[in-house]
Amino acid sequence: MSVRALWIISHEKGENVSIRFTRRFATVEHRAKILAGSSYRSVPEDNTVLQLLLTELGLSDSDKSYVALRDDCLHRQRLPALELRVDGPGKGFLWPVLVISHGPLTLACLPLVDVPAEPRPPLASLLSVSQGFTLLAGLQTFLLGSGGKPDSEGLASRLAMLPSVLLQVCPLGTPLDVPLLGAPATPTVPTPAGNQKQPAWKTGLHRGRAVVNVALIETVRSMQYGNRSRQDLWDVYGTVTCKCEVEGVLPNVTVTLTLPPNGSPLQDILVHPCVTSLDSSILTASSVDNCDGSAFSGPYKFPFSPPLEPFRLCSYTSQVPVPPILGSYQLREEENQLRVSVTLKLHESVKNSFEYCEAHLPFFNRVQMGVVDVKVSAGQLDVSKEKNLLVWGLGQKFPKCREVTMEGKISFSGPTPGPTDPLCTELTSYIKLYFKVPDMTLSGCCVDQHSVQVYSSAKPRIVTSRELQSKEYFIWNSTGTAPVASGQMML
């Protein structure tokens, strides 16, 4: 349940590599030595580890097209747990090295193997592996912020805080907690003497007016082919985020999600560890199983005791009968130009009031656009500065008929080649939609303000909100070959 060492490195695609932070846990190493006996491999010095790690991640020798050690086809990188081949005296394998990367930052740790090491045990038998992941993920969020955008100064100052952070969350190699993202914004007071034990994940107590904020965000993804032989795909997942400022050591709050009468059940529900109890019927519906029509369809009650900081109370997936926007996209090669024809239809069940709605038409593996002779029935059309992308802004509303079209011709005659993409060659091309609709969900799921119960003396202020947003919403050109996005539909 412990880790032997921890490394944080930064690099730009294998270049400018530097070790930003390392920590070795000597007592865990001591245990590793006893546990492994003669098969014990000590952890080499940092520079060696770094080299091995880069090779294993396929980032070393970026100037060479084939390096046997790095590119052997037999050797499948068993991410998330790598095996580092240590050379020289005491050679052998360091395993399992857990790695998580985001942008230029890579975090790695070496969990302790506390079951017999020969034959190699499955990852699943080592609790230290999931503990290691939790630690790495927590550190990553701490270093990059919840937005995940690294800025070098912020990163440096957060790296400087790591020694004291580790004293709190992992003083001797056994992870105890994940780092807090910052002090809670509300005033807190130390624990009063009392019988109720304070949760270890709660750094203090809230004092002041009770406010409960529940935000429901649904995300829709889609792959539309406009092709009879291939089924269009779309899926929806929702998250409920809470921020609760409630007095008491262990206050009780209940949030209830409800569906409209004929709504399809929420599936794959995952809950935050602060949820105190669950009804088994809530968990039964699953997206990977036969959907049982008689399945439980709410209300979904989530009793919990909130931590001080904002948290994701639960998430779910849902199967909705239609995509919110149905599109068709046709490209034809004509002499030296492309003939474009696009139709987008907003489904009648979707509120026609967007925060934003944009369609992007990128063109890869071609030179820059020359003459763009394209008409749209609504909205506004822009050509990007690099001249390889059409941006069709649809504004806040579709027209009354709920349908917009684009027709026209584009010639490619620019001097410089545009971006390349191995997937989108010839007529393989897509439109990507970006939109957000406030105050609605596709599944119909909602959190009623009155259904939020807070068991405390003062009457709390309760704020709820919901919205729908798109992510990876693709409409493929129906005249080209489009890649398969899910084999599930093919089988």
Q: Scan residues 23-82 and list those touching another protein (CB under 8 A).
A: 23-27, 29-31, 34-35, 37, 45-47, 58, 62, 65-66, 68, 70-81
Element (H, E) at 395: none
Site residues for another protein, 344-373, by CB under 8 A, read: 365
Min dist. Cβ of residue 344 to another protein (A):
22
| Prior bond of 163 cis (ω within 30°) | no
Residue 20 interacting with another protein (CB under 8 A): no
Q: How many residues bind another protein (CB under 8 A)?
A: 130
CB of 391 to another protein, least distance (A): 23
Give the end-to-end CA distance of the chain in Å, rounded to a whole number.
41
What does residue 37 show for φ and ψ, rounded to 5 degrees?
60, -125
Provide the minimum distance between the beta carbon of 108 and another protein in the complex, in angstroms, as a whole number: 11
Q: Fill in the per-residue mask, 219 to 258: x = in contact with another protein (CB under 8 A), - = not in contact.
A: x-x-------------x-x-x----------x--------
Indicate the residue among 127 and 381 with the shorter CB distance to another protein.
Answer: 127
Shortest Å distance, C-beta 153 to another protein: 19
Q: Closest distance between another protein and the C-beta of residue 249, in Å?
A: 8
Residue selected from 4, 11, 109, 175 as contacting another protein according to rule CB under 8 A = 175
CA angle 273, 275, 278 (to 5 degrees): 115
CA 55/CA 67 separation, integer angstroms: 9
CB atoms within 10 A of CB 372: 16
CB 270 within 8 A of CB 219: no
Q: Which of 16/262 has CB closer to another protein?
A: 16
> Mask of contacts with another protein, 119-138, x by CB under 8 A?
xxxxxxxxx-xxx-xxxxx-
Distance CA 186, CA 209 (A): 10
Q: Show contacts with another protein in window 305-324 (CB under 8 A).
A: 312, 314-315, 317
Q: Cβ 200 to another protein, closest distance in Å?
A: 4
- What is the nearest approach in angstroms of another protein to the Cβ of residue 486? 6
Contact with another protein (CB under 8 A) among 15, 157, 190, 459:
190
Judged by beta carbon, residue 223 or residue 454, the one nearer another protein is: 223
Angle between helices 127-144 and 152-169 (to 10 degrees): 140
| Amino acid identity for residue 22 in this structure | T
Spatial distance between the Cα atoms of 149 and 105, rounded to a whole number of angstroms: 11
Q: Residue 115 or 458: which CB sits closer to another protein?
A: 115
* Residue that is written with structure tokens 């070959």 in the block: 481
CB of 211 to another protein, least distance (A): 22
Among 157, 193, 375, 459, binds another protein (CB under 8 A): 193
- 3-state secondary structure at position 344: strand
CB of 23 to another protein, least distance (A): 7
Task: Tell me how far the alpha carbon of residue 286 is from its chain's centroid.
Answer: 20
Q: Determine the Cα–Cα distance for residues 421 and 407; give it in Å rounded to an integer.
A: 25
Tokens describing residue 396: 């806040």
Q: How far is the CB of 168 from another protein (least distance, A)?
A: 5
Shortest Å, Cβ 42 to another protein = 10
Q: What is the Rg, in whole angstroms, of the alpha carbon atoms belonging to the chain?
A: 27
Q: Between 196 and 353, whose beta carbon lies closer to another protein?
A: 196
Please report, as residue ranges, which positions from 77 to 116 form the binding site for another protein (by CB under 8 A).
77-81, 88-89, 98-100, 114-116
What are the residues whose beta carbons fall under 8 Å from the beta carbon of 349, sequence distance 6 or more?
Answer: 322
Q: 3-state SS of the chain: helix, strand, coil percent to 5? A: 15, 40, 45
Is 289 a residue that touches another protein (CB under 8 A)?
yes
Among 51, 174, 213, 405, binds another protein (CB under 8 A): 174
On the 0-12 / 13-18 / 19+ scale of CB atoms within 10 A, 114 is: middle
Nearer to another protein, 371 or 423 (CB): 423
Told to check if 438 binds another protein by CB under 8 A, we report no
x/- mask, another protein, residues 443-482, rule CB under 8 A, reads ----------------------------------------
CB closer to another protein out of 166 and 361: 166
CA atoms of 336 and 245, how far apart (whole Å): 63
Count of beta carbons in the 10 Å neighbourhood of residue 122: 9
What size, in residues, is the chain?
491
